[in-house]
A and B are shown apart, each in its own frame.
Chain A
Amino acid sequence: SAVISQKPSRDICQRGTSLTIQCQVDSQVTMMFWYRQQPGQSLTLIATANQGSEATYESGFVIDKFPISRPNLTFSTLTVSNMSPEDSSIYLCSVGVNTEAFFGQGTRLTVV
């Protein structure tokens, strides 16, 4: 398994601003993922964070809105840019270990 620390755990932000979410893993992992979970909904994959290369984004998500960094095998960041109330969601970091996926506790973002 893997222990994942995500920061911040929650935040309230003004529209038009940006928030960077950090994800730290206790071991080196090849694959890291960022998900969005809108209120009362399931998880939707935003992108796969690749170490040493650009992130791979899913349909409906773009780099300008959700820039991702992956400087090493234990750390990644997701930035939610130019926020609007529609971005209010839980954002979750995940890592893949031996065909299993483990999640951080999530960042609950409220945009006002």
Chain B
Amino acid sequence: GQQLNQSPQSMFIQEGEDVSMNCTSSSIFNTWLWYKQDPGEGPVLLIALYKAGELTSNGRLTAQFGITRKDSFLNISASIPSDVGIYFCAGLTQGGSEKLVFGKGTKLTVNP
């Protein structure tokens, strides 16, 4: 089946630093989604990307849909302690049944 390779698996950074994480796949996706999950909560949608090459921002977050449609990255600028959590990328396939394929997540720790 389709798989997403998400890296890094975990990150430990100082408050104020920028963060970058990415997802790659051998398959093409029509939509890329980035989620954040806090402990004891469900994933919350951060950014959705629909077109190859698209660059989208949401506050301090910036994400890009790779030109090949097989990858995406998420950047967080000037990190703050509340950025702590697990970030998941997800790719949506279409044609028949729409299904989300999730990466394994990037656990972010921000030291004050």
**Residues B71-112 near A (CB distance < 8 A):** 88, 90, 92, 94, 97-100, 102-105
The prevalent SS among residues of A at the interface is: strand
Which B residues contact A (CB, under 8 angstroms)? 1, 30-31, 33, 35, 40-45, 48, 50, 88, 90, 92, 94, 97-100, 102-105
Q: In the complex the two chains form, is B41's CB within 8 Å of A101's CB?
A: no
Q: Which residue on B lies nearest to A6, using beta carbons?
A: B42
Interface centre among B31, B42, B102 (most CB of A within 10 A): B42
Residue of B nearest to A103 (CB): B42
Contact at B88–A42, with CB atoms within 8 Å?
A: yes
Which residue on B lies nearest to A43, using beta carbons?
Answer: B102
Q: Is A41 an interface residue (CB 8 A)?
A: yes
Least distance between A23 CB and chain B CB atoms (Å) = 11
Name the A residues within 8 Å of B97 (CB-CB).
48, 56
Which chain B residues border A100 with CB–CB below 8 Å? 31, 33, 45, 48
A108 vs B100: C-alpha distance in the bound complex, in angstroms? 21
Q: With contacts A43-B102, A45-B99, A45-B100 known, is A102 near B88, CB below 8 A?
A: no
In the assembled complex, the Cα of A46 lies from the Cα of B75 at a distance in Å of 30
Q: B-contacting residues of A (Cβ < 8 Å)? A: 1, 4, 6, 31, 33, 41-45, 48, 56, 59, 92, 94, 96, 99-106, 108
In the assembled complex, the CB of B40 is this many whole angstroms from the nearest CB of chain A, namely 7
Interchain Cβ contacts under 8 Å between A and B, 29 examples: A1-B45, A6-B42, A31-B98, A41-B104, A42-B104, A42-B105, A43-B100, A45-B100, A48-B97, A56-B97, A92-B43, A94-B100, A99-B30, A99-B92, A99-B94, A100-B33, A101-B45, A101-B90, A101-B92, A103-B35, A103-B42, A103-B44, A104-B42, A105-B41, A105-B42, A106-B40, A106-B41, A106-B42, A108-B40
Q: Which residues of A contact B35 (CB under 8 A)?
A: 103
Determine the distance from Cα of A108 to Cα of B39 in the docked complex, in whole angstroms: 11
Is the Cβ of A99 less than 8 Å from the Cβ of B42? no
